[in-house]
Amino acid sequence: MPTAAVPLRLLDPDSAAQLTSAAHTLLAPFDGDPTPPDQHAHVPAAAAALSDGVRHACRPVDTPDGLYVLRGLPVDDASLCPTPGHWSAAGDAGALYDAVLLLLSTVLGTPIAWAGQQNGRFVHNIVPSPGHEREQTGASSSVLLSPHTEDAFHPGRAHLLVLACLRNPDAVATTAASVRRVRLARSDVELLSRPALPILPDDAYAEPEAYDGGPPPVPTLWAAEDGLTLRFDPAYTPLDQASAEHRAAYGRLADELARVSVAVTLAPGDILVLDNDLVVHGRVPFTARYDGTDRWLKRSSVRVPGRRTRPPAERSEHGYGQAALAAYR
């Protein structure tokens, strides 16, 4: 898989210092608690005060790659605590970067959280966890995390996914494949644009609230104004319910996504911004260490108000009883 040309945006030292200092200021009154109820209230003003340098670095994804890496945020490994063994054990670990991610996410759009995922936190910890090695969730390690749209089952899913790297000692790659790079016959695009199959909630979610109706069939591809977008999560799609013709087209899309996939190896301080409507992402397999030095990412999800990259029919989906909570409502 090529590690090629991932668009890189350098955060100049002044912008990086400004972000870090704004994050410190946000955290100061809370003594490191990463989810104080009032902290979010101060984020919009703090984000609005950030310089044009930060704002420019966070401009929308502007290539068919559907992603970019922001580089330049300092991470001092010595001042970080050991990598938590599970998201639920993270507490205020790396809280400074939670605040940095909230600030950046607020420049990008509106951060969202899920009541049923990682206790409703706006910034998730992605760490390998004992007993979860073989899952299709961010807690896995020994298996390929297959390419997926984040939270594909839900109409309120993020437009942008932000992954900030705190540790990655074994240079484990995140994978990304853009639908704007695939080559498909028009007949396949047409077939995959029909709502044929549902996408079920992934294993990272707690049991949902009750909801009415069965799983809604959704299209895999959609022709948005500025090009094709996708909603793709084969691990949670009951493909055996589709016609042979549909399955074959889905398989050709999967093959094309594999062909155009790039490996993005994040280094500490790198922040990967993925357009969740253009790009599916995953992770290569690795052996977890479980000694406090493991790979550690922080993740936030962002909605971009007014974006028109999805079929209007999505708005009537029930989302399987999971609620997406927007910050600053």
Ligand X SMILES: O=C(O)CCC(=O)C(=O)O
Amino acid letter at 291? D
Q: Of the two residues 106 and 276, which places its CB atom closer to Fe ion in the complex? A: 276
**Residue 321's closest CA among 150, 156, 196?**
156
Tell me, residue by residue from 300 to 329, as one string, x for binding to ligand X by CB under 6 A and - for no binding.
Answer: ------------------------------
φ/ψ of residue 96, rounded to 5: -55, -40
| Interface of this chain with ligand X, residues 131 to 150, rule: CB under 6 A | 138, 145, 150
The least distance separating ligand X from the CB of residue 71, rounded to whole angstroms, comes to 16
User: What is the Cα–Cα distance from 228 to 238, expressed in whole angstroms?
Assistant: 23
Residue 174 interacts with ligand X (CB under 6 A)? yes
Among 283, 298, 303, 310, interactor with ligand X by CB under 6 A: 283
Residue 70 site contact among Fe ion, ligand X, none (CB < 5 to 8 Å, cut-off depends on kind): none
Q: Of the two residues 157 and 283, which places its CB atom closer to ligand X in the complex? A: 283
Structure tokens, 97 = 């970067």
The least distance separating ligand X from the CB of residue 296, rounded to whole angstroms, comes to 10
Amino acid letter at 278? L
Q: Of the two residues 65 and 150, which places its CB atom closer to Fe ion in the complex? A: 150
Check if the beta carbon of residue 294 is closer than 8 Å to that of residue 268.
no
Residue 303 site contact among ligand X, Fe ion, none (CB < 5 to 8 Å, cut-off depends on kind): none
Q: Of the two residues 18 and 168, which places its CB atom closer to ligand X in the complex? A: 168
Residue 299 interacts with ligand X (CB under 6 A)? yes
Residue 90 interacts with ligand X (CB under 6 A)? no
The least distance separating ligand X from the CB of residue 145, rounded to whole angstroms, comes to 5
How would DSSP label each residue in 285-307?
------SS---EEEEEEEE-TT-
Q: Of the two residues 140 and 309, which places its CB atom closer to Fe ion in the complex? A: 140
Residue 93 interacts with ligand X (CB under 6 A)? no
Residue 154 site contact among ligand X, Fe ion, none (CB < 5 to 8 Å, cut-off depends on kind): none
Among 180, 231, 246, 281, interactor with ligand X by CB under 6 A: 281
Check if the beta carbon of residue 159 is closer than 8 Å to that of residue 277.
yes
Structure tokens, 14 = 């002044």
Contacts from 203-206 at CB under 8 Å and sequence distance 24+?
A: 203/135, 203/136, 203/137, 204/117, 204/118, 204/137, 204/138, 204/139, 205/114, 205/116, 205/117, 205/322, 206/116, 206/117
User: What is the Cα–Cα distance from 185 to 173, expressed in whole angstroms?
Assistant: 30
Stretch that binds Fe ion, among 148-156, 172-180, 266-274, 317-325 (CB under 5 A): 148-156
Among 150, 188, 233, 275, interactor with Fe ion by CB under 5 A: 150
Kindly tell me the burial class for residue 316, based on how many C-beta atoms sit within 10 Å of its own C-beta (0-12, 13-18, 19 or more): exposed
User: Residues interacting with Fe ion, by CB under 5 A?
Assistant: 150
Which residues of the chain form contacts with ligand X (CB under 6 A)?
126, 138, 145, 150, 163, 174, 281, 283, 297, 299
